[in-house]
Structure 1
Amino acid sequence: MSLKQTIEVFELLDDATVSGEKVKAFFEQRGASNVSYTTVEGEKGTTDFVKIVIPGKKGKVYGGKAPTLGVVGRLGGIGARPERIGLVSDADGAVAALATALKLVDMQSKGDVLDGDVIITTHICPNAPTRPHEPVAFMDSPVDILAMNQHEVTEEMEAILSIDTTKGNRVFNHRGIAISPTVKQGYILRISDDLVSLMEMSTGQYAHTFAVTMQDITPYGNGLYHINSILQPAVATSAPVVGVAVTAQTAVPGCATGASHEVDIALAVKFSIEVAKAFGEGKCSFYSEEEFDRIVKLYGDMSHLQTLGKDA
């Protein structure tokens, strides 16, 4: 059960004065020992990047060899004040990532410690700007995508779940969560069977997946259309990245308030927890190393898709 933690984090973030400092204090009060935040200023304001490390009993923090999972809560901002009052739809990624951290902290306090380390990152901005986007308006961010990736994607992450609200479109017409194919070094790979199985078990439904285009896995700033920023972490790492989309049946603006569904966010949290358990135990693969080596041998390196391209 992760709904309790989801609601607690939702209430924590639904605050006009919430900050990285407040988030850090909340988690430390709950028992987290490795929480940090950094305030970064951009052209459109400031935001606080939060990083929470949940050490595993066999993880790298304690000198072990169990693999490390990264969970990134991707968004523009959690609020659009003063234009909009309250938590916006775009905040779902931050809520899900932090609720995942809170659930892991609560589990540890009760004696359930995962094998591998889990690193959770996101950013907190209750007064982010908005920007035009078709078919509905998006949340913008005070800082650019480069700054986000610098603070949210770390070298220690050996695989990444990138959680993002993905409602501002007319192509994902299902309410709940969905996962993307694995993206690695410019390649869109097959959808992981292990992740499909974990999604079906954690949701009790057939797995929902979503399509990814070549444009979506290239960096923001190249003038191409992106469905949203869900796969932007993939441009900053050689680790495999899978998007976890919180979806809706209708097109919902990222800046809309009253549009978040706690039960759907909790599904993303439950799924992330189960992936963290299995990945740390070496029982969940995001991709086939053998097949990836084969495709690179056949068709060459595609990491240029992680750059802004020739014009840059």
Structure 2
Amino acid sequence: MGAREIAEVTELMDDPRLNGERIATLLGSAAAPGAEITVTSVPYEAPEDTRQTCDFVRVVLPGSKGALAGGDAPTLGIIGRLGAQQAQPARIGYVSDADGSTVAIAAALRLLRLAAAGAQLPGDVIVTTHIATHVSITPREPADFMGMPVSSATMNEHEVDDAMDAILSIDASKGNRLINHPGVAISPTAKEGYLLPVAPGLLTVLEYATGAPARTFPLALQDITPYDNGYRHFNSIMQPTVATSAPVVGVALTAAAVVPGSSTGASYEPALLEATRFVVETAKQFTQSRVVFHDADEYDRLVDQYGDLTRFQR
């Protein structure tokens, strides 16, 4: 499940003509009833090449009992985080940084095809990511960083939706020495300035999706604060949490070696497939209220005892 979608999406990612409309055409080929696929283009922001445009892709899959149908089944948000899929003209082909968007789009395509075949989920699913091909590469230890076509705040404006009851934020996370194994790892849950325990239900889904013990990665408080506040961040994987009250879990695609996001030929199909399976299965389980991202009662007790921490979102 998902191998076909990964192959189709990565083929597009490698094309120098890549843009949001091409991705939307692929997603639209699923012909899922009621689905909405939109592309919003915005100009690049300085210091990147402001002659270019960044395409935000948004997919809304209505559930049979979701909010769009007037029901109460929960809505899952799936966000593909990255700098860009390509770094033209410095690189030829798609770079490792594309992993988050590849998985988000592949998961959306699989869910669209399931819906078209009659397997509609109970709750709504909203998938967002962006497409960009011309960004800078910034030298940094232990791995060079890809540039960003727009600010993290602009990405959140287009990718985070108040309708999302919980969010999976997917990102390539190979340029570090904190989680070094080939595959997929998930983060503790972040919510409104609090770092909460790793969700046990998501660990189970990850183990079923990979057939291996679940891997997690550590977060510091700085990682769930805004990207431009001057503090070092693991990467941008947790940035959706500064723009929402919903619980957010990071889904990191990892490697045993330190691999820069700016490297071509460094996206690994087994990890992409495992991450896609995990995201699709989480969508099924969450929209059926079979897994949760956090213990809501415990969170409320924390806030009562230790106070509001939303200042860390600002």
TM range (shorter): over 0.9
Alpha carbons 2:178, 2:218 under 8 Å: kept = no
User: What is the 5 A alignment of 1:26-105?
Assistant: 26-32=26-32, 33-41=35-43, 42-43=45-46, 44=48, 45=50, 46-105=53-112
What does 1:172-183 align with in structure 2 at a 5 Å threshold?
172-183=179-190
Partner Cα separation in structure 1 for residue 250 and residue 61 of structure 2: 21
Task: State yes or no: 1:255 paired with 2:262.
Answer: yes
The residue aligned with 2:8 is: 8
Match of 1:234 in 2: 241
TM-fit CA distance, 1:84:
0.5
The letter of the residue matching 2:261 is G
Match of 1:293?
A: 300
> Counterparts in 2 of 1:248-287, with a 5 A limit?
248-287=255-294
Corresponding position of 2:215: 208
SS in 2 for 1:230: helix
Flag structure 2 segments of 5+ consecutive residues without an equivalent: none
SS in 2 for 1:126: coil
Query: Which secondary structure does the structure 1 equivalent of 2:63 belong to?
Result: coil
CA RMSD of aligned residues (A): 1.0
* Alignment correspondent of 2:149: 142
| d(CA) in 1 for partners of 2:301, 2:138 | 41
Q: Is the 8 A contact 1:35 1:52 kept in 2?
A: yes
- Separation of aligned partners in 2, 1:21 and 1:109: 21
Q: Which amino acid in the other structure matches residue 21 of structure 2? A: E
Q: Distance in 1 between matches of 2:307 and 2:256?
A: 39
State the 1:76 CA deviation: 0.2
Cα separation, 2, equivalents of 1:59 and 1:130? 42
Alpha carbons 1:78, 1:128 under 8 Å: kept: no
Question: How far does the alpha carbon of each residue in 1:194-219 deviate from its partner, in whole angstroms, 9 at most, with x for none?
Answer: 10111111111110000001111111
**Distance in 1 between the 2:269 and 2:30 partners?**
21
TM-score (norm 1): 0.96
Name the residue aligned to 1:222: 229
- Aligned-partner Cα distance in 2 for 1:20–1:57: 28
CA–CA distance in structure 2, aligned partners of residues 122 and 258 of structure 1: 21
SS at match of 2:236: coil
Q: Which runs of 4+ in 1 moved over 4 A?
A: none
Q: How many residues align?
A: 307
Question: Is the partner of 1:92 in helix, strand or coil?
Answer: helix
How much has 1:30 moved relative to structure 2?
2.3
Unaligned runs of 5+ in 1: 308-312
1:166-187 per-position Cα deviation (integer Å, ceiling 9, x unaligned): 0011121111000000000000
Match of 2:18 in 1: 18
Asked if 2 retains the 8 angstrom alpha-carbon contact of 1:74 and 1:162, the reply is yes
| Aligned-pair CA distance for 1:269 | 0.8
Instruction: Calculate percent identity across the aligned residue pairs.
Output: 49
Return the alpha-carbon distance in structure 2 between the equivalents of residues 88 and 31 of structure 1. Answer: 29
Shift of 1:71: 0.3
Q: Distance in 2 between matches of 1:3 and 1:263?
A: 9
Q: SS at the partner of 1:49? A: strand
CA distance in 2, matches of 1:128, 1:6: 24
Structure 1 residue 280: Cα displacement: 0.7
Contact 1:15 1:126 in 2 (8 A): no
Instruction: Report the residue type matching 2:191 in the other structure.
Output: K
Alpha-carbon distance in structure 2 between the residues aligned to 1:132 and 1:119: 34
Structure 1, 285-294 or 124-133: larger mean CA deviation: 124-133
CA contact (8 A) 1:179 1:245 kept: yes
Where 2:204 maps in the other structure, the secondary structure is: helix
Contact 1:219 1:306 in 2 (8 A): yes
Alpha-carbon distance in 1 for matches of 2:250, 2:113: 25
CA distance in 1, matches of 2:177, 2:37: 38
